[in-house]
Structure 1
Amino acid sequence: MRRLLSTTLGQILAIIGCSSVATFLLFIVLLSYFGSPPAPPWPWQNAYRVAGLVESLRGAPQDVRNTIVAAVRRPDLSVRLTSSPSACSRQTLDTHDFDAALRAELPGITDLAVRACTSHKPGETIQVLVPLDGQTLEILTDRTSGEPGRFTGPFYSALIFLCVGVAAMSAWAISRVIRPLRQLSEQADAFGREMSIAPIEEHGPLEVRRAAHAFNLMQERIMHSVQNRTRMLAAISHDLRTPLTRMRLHIETHRTDIVPDKLIQNIDIMQSMITSALAFLASDTDRETREWLDLGALISTLCDEYAEGGAAIRYDGPEQIRFFCRPEAIRRVLTNLVDNALHFGRTVTVSAKVLDGAIQVDVSDDGPGIPEDRLRDVIEPFVRLDHARNDRPGSMGLGLSIVKEIVQAHNGTLRLINRHPSGLTARVSFS
């Protein structure tokens, strides 16, 4: 029982059970409430007769009242005027109902009394006493029905059936609601043991669907991250073999005249690989504070720095472009795109423009381009197209992936477009 109550289903069922019991008791209390007249037929017929008789006697002279009393005698109704009535003492649901009906019909009389008698013969079991000008009108009548059937077996059965039915339907509805939560829990447990599992079905109430959707997104991100890191480790272990093998051969040949330069070159290649991998793993673009940047001035300055180093590069665009961004991350985007363009092309053009509030930056080269069916692939991590572009020492195929991640963090898009007759344009758009 304790284990059941510790679950969501058990707690909700406990709440429903307590509510059903409270509802049951409330029904009993309401039906036992003595503050309002009863519903027809009992005791309204008798009450009408008694009320009519009392009204007639109150408006009649003293010497005529005995005649009226004698005229209304019936087998089920005994009436007399007396100065010393023998009052009965019992109270039942019948007397309560009769009293409430009489007071509703005779609002001006507040001191009438209705009691049940046990010593009278059948037909005279309820006594009504009404004071009239120093005398008391005593009326004895019979119950036209038995004790009011409020708390009979069928009544209890119907009320219990109602409470049990509500609890059962509620339990069924709750089980349908929490079933997706149970599936989500099972999926989370399975995901902890095995990464490659199918996404959970998104159904149930809105909040549960949102939780399932968030879990699927989290599962997808984790799987993607694990796959990228696995591929990165495989790429590093594979690509480091070549420079390490060359370094070992240079040392074993004992050619002291070329060993230092070759070692430094191979170390630079290895350092470039490690730096690229660490940059991809860091994913720290969200840590930098956003601020206003003059993007036009940044591009112009960057192109001047490359031109001073001997690169054939130029900037074509406005001098000022206000952009709210993370400056170091945007500089990294431009540097990676320009480095790629300069490596595969001889001349590079960086152009920028603002269209309806959207910023578009193009980095174009005159290199060999990329096959149309591989334009999307090269943006993925660790993808290098050796056939389309010569292999780049120290490159792990992470430059465009890092660019894409930063651009998407700024609500932008990265697109690669082949130029004709040759060349490639890397287009970055910020909305």
Structure 2
Amino acid sequence: MKTRFSLLPRTVYGQMVAIVISSMMVTIFVVAFLVFVLRPTVPPLPEGPWPNALAIETAIDALRAGPPEIRAVIARGMSTPDVSFQTTGPFPCVPIPTEHFSVLLRRILKAQMNNRNAVIKESTCAADSSGMTSTHIDMPREGIFITAHNGINHHLPQLMRATLPLIVSFLSLLVIMGTLSLWSLWRINRPLKVLANKAETFGYDITPEPLTEQGPVELRRVARAFNRMQARIAAAAEERTRMLMAIGHDLRTPLTRLSMRIEMGGADASPAALRNDLWLMNRMLNGALSFLKGQGDTEPAERVDIGALVESVCAEFEATGRNVIYQGDLGLTCLCQPVAVSRMVNNLIDNACKFGSTVQVDTRRNGNEAIIEVADDGPGIPTEMHDVVLLPFARLDPARSSDGGLGLGLSIIHDIVQRHRGSLNFQSNQPHGLRVCIALPLDPQQFTHARSRTHSVH
């Protein structure tokens, strides 16, 4: 499967970290850009409780310095909706008790060097149409009269400059959390939803299409494990179906023959003939039950000398008069199920004796594996049939069932080899015959002890 190149990390953890870092970088650039674009066009006001004090002080100095004939024009030009200046006389006022703002403004103006000797009178007037009270500052000697609303002017540019980075940061944080949430729903929940739908479909259809391995590494592993499980269950169901069909097919012949013997009577219905048919059917059923039992075998694993185990199995065949020759190494320790491995070797030798006259068995070490080799001088198995004969209920000659076999011998051997994480392959034996080679992993502790002894010698 070709792996597509992607800048996004493959794991969920890596992808979330990448999104957070990317969002933080975008936030920094956006904040910097907005602060640069929206920076205030007027200089910031000095710290203090009265934001308009600097504007009032500047206006008073300008009116003092201006010629008398244009002071009224200057006053109108400097007036704003919040602060108004005039030189002709005091502004109309409905006095109310003096507020703190009025006293504070007078003190701020009085603290200026140019105003220390000036006469400054303050008063508070009732609220106007804007709903705010106003402070009136009268400087009768200079002929300067001022009215200012008693509401703090927030100066939007200064406020934007002070709060914009914080606002953008919070908005960016909200975007990050929203992005992560949406990504999690799409990137993680979507494959899980597909997996849930597939699992539900698998309840009534054991051969659906396999899941597409997509998304982060963790979800790909889940999909891969589900596909393997689905394939194993489908194979097991197919195997059960094939087993029932094989048993039904193979039992039909002896049952038909048994029925005919009973109907015809005479010599054909002799007890010996009937017992032969019953023995044949019993052997078929025992073979199928043995195969099913072997698939669910939970025998505990033990450390076994493979050479000694194979030699003992060969000795049993020699004791029954079979021409089985063993030669091999001892001391090859494997962590395996001894009964299952004995059954495997027994089936191998039994098949070899069935089709050949002489059987040679060998055990040896090849790297980190123990090799079990069984060779015979029989007709062998064609190369194109090597994979087929490993399937349950497969025979080289499907018509042959008179010996009570179901074609499970090599299938049982293959199952035991796979259970021990080994390998099985067929080779031609010269000048004719078949050579079956099985490789089983050696016990890792054997190498540890061997290295320890080597170091001790050094």
TM value normalised by structure 2 = 0.62
CA contact (8 A) 1:280 1:402 kept: yes
Out of 135, 141, 165, the position equivalent to 1:120 is 135
2:421 equivalent to 1:421: no
Calculate percent identity across the aligned residue pairs. 34
CA contact (8 A) 2:135 2:150 kept: no
Gaps of 5+ in 2: 1-41, 55-59, 65-74, 76-82, 86-97, 109-131, 137-145, 442-458
User: Partner residue of 1:82?
Assistant: none
**SS across alignment from 1:364:** strand
User: Partner residue of 1:133?
Assistant: none
CA distance in 1, matches of 2:304, 2:433: 30
2:353 equivalent to 1:353: no
2:384 equivalent to 1:369: no
CA distance in 2, matches of 1:218, 1:402: 21
User: Partner residue of 2:121?
Assistant: none
Deviation at 1:148, TM superposition (A): 6.7
Out of 338, 341, 344, the position equivalent to 1:330 is 341
Out of 373, 384, 396, the position equivalent to 2:406 is 396
CA distance in 1, matches of 2:209, 2:392: 23
Q: Which amino acid aligns with 2:368?
A: G
The within-5 A match list for 1:218-257 is 218-255=229-266
1:137-162 C-alpha deviation (Å, 9 max, x unpaired): xxxxx8583697569xx999989986
Deviation at 1:378, TM superposition (A): 0.6
**SS across alignment from 1:175:** helix
CA distance in 1, matches of 2:256, 2:156: 110
CA contact (8 A) 2:247 2:284 kept: yes
CA contact (8 A) 1:316 1:351 kept: yes
User: Partner residue of 1:6?
Assistant: none
2:103 equivalent to 1:88: no
CA distance in 1, matches of 2:279, 2:437: 30
Deviation at 1:237, TM superposition (A): 0.3
CA distance in 2, matches of 1:358, 1:386: 34
CA contact (8 A) 2:261 2:268 kept: no
2:223 equivalent to 1:208: no
Q: Which amino acid aligns with 2:100?
A: C
Aligned residue pairs, count: 329
**SS across alignment from 1:362:** strand
Deviation at 1:422, TM superposition (A): 1.1
Deviation at 1:364, TM superposition (A): 0.9
Out of 274, 280, 294, the position equivalent to 2:305 is 294
1:250-301 C-alpha deviation (Å, 9 max, x unpaired): 2223236862222222222212211221122224565111112122222222
2:286 equivalent to 1:271: no
Deviation at 1:194, TM superposition (A): 1.9
User: Partner residue of 2:440?
Assistant: 430
CA contact (8 A) 1:367 1:422 kept: yes
- Shift of the 224–380 alpha-carbon distance from structure 1 to 2, 3 Å rule, reads same
Out of 281, 284, 288, the position equivalent to 2:292 is 281
Q: Which amino acid aligns with 1:88?
A: H
1:214-266 C-alpha deviation (Å, 9 max, x unpaired): 11111101100000000000000000011112222222232368622222222
CA contact (8 A) 2:295 2:415 kept: no
Deviation at 1:327, TM superposition (A): 0.6
User: Partner residue of 2:35?
Assistant: none
CA distance in 2, matches of 1:155, 1:313: 89
Greater CA drift, 287-296 or 275-284: 275-284
CA distance in 1, matches of 2:53, 2:230: 81
CA distance in 2, matches of 1:147, 1:353: 88
CA distance in 2, matches of 1:430, 1:332: 15
User: Partner residue of 1:44?
Assistant: 46
CA contact (8 A) 1:296 1:317 kept: yes
- Shift of the 49–182 alpha-carbon distance from structure 1 to 2, 3 Å rule, reads closer
CA distance in 2, matches of 1:162, 1:409: 55
- Superposed CA RMSD: 4.2
1:109-165 C-alpha deviation (Å, 9 max, x unpaired): xxxxxxxx94403665579xxxxxxxxxxxxxx8583697569xx999989986886
- Shift of the 210–352 alpha-carbon distance from structure 1 to 2, 3 Å rule, reads same
- Shift of the 424–281 alpha-carbon distance from structure 1 to 2, 3 Å rule, reads same
**SS across alignment from 1:120:** strand
Out of 173, 195, 198, the position equivalent to 2:206 is 195
